Amino acid sequence: MLRSIERDGEVDRIAVEEPLEIRVGREPVAVTMRTPGDDEALALGFLFGEGLIDGPRRAAPPTDFAANVVEVEGPLTRELTARRFYLSSSCGVCGKGALEEVAVSAPRLAGGPRVPRDLLADLPERLAQPAFARTGGLHATGLFDPSGEAICTREDVGRHNAMDKVIGWALAQGRVPLADSILCVSGRLAFELVQKAAVAGCPILVGVGAPTSLAVELAADRGMTLCGFARGGSVNVYAGAERVT
């Protein structure tokens, strides 16, 4: 969603950022700052990535028609030590009440496709970002098959939200675990993005930017192929090089 504003006699298109409250079983669980759109998928992807649901659920606007709210069928699959999360558009782990809530368990990733290095380097060029092209203010995540064909792409002001929207879509479509897929993100590779990809069972994660130390450590620990600085026909492989041909 975009909005027009006037600046120095010209009209700019800017990305919309608004809060979204996620409820489970009618109880508030999280508030995230996001770009409106695909809110049901965002809620499902977030809850799945946090280990709070273990499969597809019904997600819909609330019966009281409250704005910027999505209700997901309960119950939670694990108890929260904090009553609710608050996530800014720049941070996917903000507001968590205990260290154990940062690390969500995910099985070690085995198998997965073997992909040519030049295809991985080219994925950001295939990552459709129409709203970014108009505003310069959005992140994107794309889900690709081993041939590099885009399956699903979503944009959002929050890079973690963009990934949640893609994973939530895949969850609702019965595509999770993403055992034969590749995720590509438009920015840097932080810990929470690797964690979300690992929980979704995706063996390869590619980013335009740099990875953090925790991202590399988690990817290696979970058996994930992690690639950064994918741009200009080159890519750096930081973990899981056995899947790169």
Q: What is the CATH number of the domain that holds 49?
A: 3.10.20.10
The whole-angstrom separation of Cα 219 and Cα 216 is 5
pTM of the model: 0.89
Number of DSSP helices (H) and strands (E) in the chain, helices first: 6, 13
Q: Does the active-site annotation cover 91?
A: yes
Catalytic residue among 91, 94, 184, 227: 91
Q: Which residues face 12 on adjacent strands?
A: 5
Q: Is 5 contained in some domain?
A: no
- The last residue of one of the domains, among 77, 101, 125, is 101
Query: For residue 49, what are the domain limits?
Result: 15-101
Q: Is 10 contained in some domain?
A: no
- The last residue of one of the domains, among 101, 128, 147, is 101
Taking only the tens of pLDDT, the chain with its 245 residues reads 655 556 666 666 777 899 999 999 889 999 999 999 999 999 999 999 988 999 999 999 998 878 899 999 989 998 775 545 666 555 655 545 444 444 577 889 999 999 999 999 999 999 987 766 666 668 999 999 999 999 999 999 999 999 999 999 999 999 999 999 999 999 999 999 999 999 999 999 999 999 999 999 999 999 999 999 999 999 999 999 999 99
- The last residue of one of the domains, among 101, 133, 159, is 101
Maximum distance among all Cα pairs of the chain, rounded to whole angstroms: 56
pLDDT computed for residue 97 by the predictor = 44
Q: Is 160 contained in some domain?
A: yes
Q: Is 126 contained in some domain?
A: yes
Task: Write b or e for each residue in 139-154: b if 16 or more Cβ atoms lie within 10 A of its Cβ, otherwise e.
Answer: bbbbbbebebeebbbb
Q: Is 231 contained in some domain?
A: yes
Q: Is 9 contained in some domain?
A: no
Assess whether 44 and 91 both reside in one domain. Answer: yes
pLDDT computed for residue 196 by the predictor = 95
For the chain, what's the residue count? 245
- Look at the chain and report how many structural domains it folds into: 2
